[in-house]
Amino acid sequence: MEIGIIIAVVVVALVFDYTNGFHDAANAIATSVSTGALKPRVALAMAAVMNFVGAFLGQKVAQTVSETIDPGTGSHALVIVMCGLLGAITWNMITWYYGLPSSSSHALIGGLVGSAVAAGATANWGVVLEKVVIPMFLSPVVAFSLGFAVMVAIMWIFRNANPGRANRGFKIAQTISAAAMALGHGLQDAQKTMGVIFLALLAGGYVGADDPLPLWVIIAAAAAISAGTYSGGWRIMRTLGRRIIHLDPPRGFAAESVAASVLYSTAYVFEAPISTTHTITSAVMGVGATKRLSAVRWGVAKSILTAWVLTFPAAGFAAAICYWVAHLFLP
């Protein structure tokens, strides 16, 4: 019976990975598409490829995710992981429907913690606080501040440049910055699914805590997020690329470059599964604020912030409901 549950958990994890891809496709390409630097389908294809490559660039984030809860072993532990995934998928679909760029990362961690708490299992609050909650608040502040600072530097450096020529140059540069952003998205988000699958394999006794990630897990997670990214996420793309602020190529380049830098540093230095959504959205707001504060549509930003705050507890509550329903059928 356990092998059947493990297969089911892996399938649901890959479904989450797919929804993560189309939910967060906007993270990598919305700015480039909205500025006209890339055509939508070209941008999506590039993002899908870079997502796949990025998934192979590290495993530290996956390890952090696998350490957020200790569900134990056996079929009951696998049900806890399954319900955590279902809670995350539920919140992803709700925010996708309303076009809100919420965090798939925090939905996943919130779902796992909510399911674990409902089941009376152990949530590793030290890891959750240090690697999830604190970065959840710090990464948007850092991205906003760096976005503002980098854009001010660009405006000063190119203050005497011909506007038309500068815009053309930054459109070309955005191809590189968008690719870097997509690579960082693969590095961060594909690893989160790897971590959950590893957690399921650990609960089922198929791997040890110190074992490396199996290659098939890396390939499967990379393929799922890439397929999801290529399928697009047009509702969220409109919010991120146009409704927050009208971006020009220099601001698009600055936002993508800052966001990518934050993703790489947190993955390699802090091993923290931060939100690519929080990071790029905050960077977009930061570069937009260099026009004037009123240029940012703060009403839209308020709606996004509300989704951010609700994500962790809402996904956790949805996962808890899933567990309580599943518990009715547990032996």
140 and 305 Cβ atoms separated by less than 8 Å: no
49 and 188 Cβ atoms separated by less than 8 Å: no
Q: Which amino acid is at 105?
A: S
Q: Which of 39-43, 246-250, 283-287, 325-329 has the highest mean pLDDT?
A: 283-287
pLDDT of 289 strictly over 60 = yes
pLDDT of 145 strictly over 90 = yes
Instruction: Output helix, strand, coil percentages for the chain, rounded to the nearest 5.
Output: 80, 0, 20
Separation of alpha carbons 200 and 6, rounded Å: 6
Separation of alpha carbons 190 and 19, rounded Å: 11
Between the CA atoms of 279, 185, 215 and 4, what dihedral angle is there, to the nearest 10 degrees?
70
User: What per-residue confidence (pLDDT) applies to 137?
Assistant: 80
- Whether pTM exceeds 0.75: yes
Domain boundaries, the chain: 2-324
Close Cβ partners of 88 (under 8 Å, ≥ 6 residues apart): 16, 104, 107, 108, 110, 111, 112, 315, 318, 319
Question: What percent of the chain has a predicted confidence (pLDDT) above 70?
Answer: 88
Question: What percent of the chain has a predicted confidence (pLDDT) above 90?
Answer: 23
User: What per-residue confidence (pLDDT) applies to 282?
Assistant: 85
DSSP 147-216: HHHHHHHHHHHTTTS-HHHHHHHHHHHHHHHHHHHHHHHIIIIIHHHHHHHHHHHHHTTSS-TTSPPPHH
pLDDT of 216 strictly over 90 = yes
CB neighbours of residue 164 within 10 Å: 8
- Give the dihedral sign, CA 331/317/55/239: positive
pLDDT of 149 strictly over 90 = yes
- Give the dihedral sign, CA 33/37/42/47: negative
66 and 210 Cβ atoms separated by less than 8 Å: no
pLDDT in tens, 40-59: 778 778 888 988 998 898 88
Q: Which of 59-73, 181-195, 274-288, 298-312 has the highest mean pLDDT?
A: 181-195
**CA distances in angstroms from 115 to 30, 92, 123, 277, 311, listed in the order given:** 33, 16, 9, 23, 15
Residue with the bigger pLDDT between 221 and 47: it is 221
Separation of alpha carbons 64 and 273, rounded Å: 7
Q: Which of 92-106, 190-204, 294-308 has the highest mean pLDDT?
A: 190-204
pLDDT in tens, 21-41: 877 766 667 777 777 777 777
pLDDT average, residue stretch 244-249 = 69
b/e per residue, 210-235, with b = 16+ CB within 10 A?
Answer: eeebeeebbebbbbbbbbbbbebbeb
pLDDT band at 211 (very low <50, low <70, confident <90, very high): confident
In sequence order, what are the beta bridge partners of 213? Answer: none
User: What per-residue confidence (pLDDT) applies to 254?
Assistant: 92
User: What per-residue confidence (pLDDT) applies to 206?
Assistant: 85
Lowest-confidence pick of 24-28, 177-181, 197-201? 24-28
What are the tokens at 24? 């967060």
Closest CA to 193 of 52, 66, 22, 86: 66
pLDDT average, residue stretch 141-156 = 93
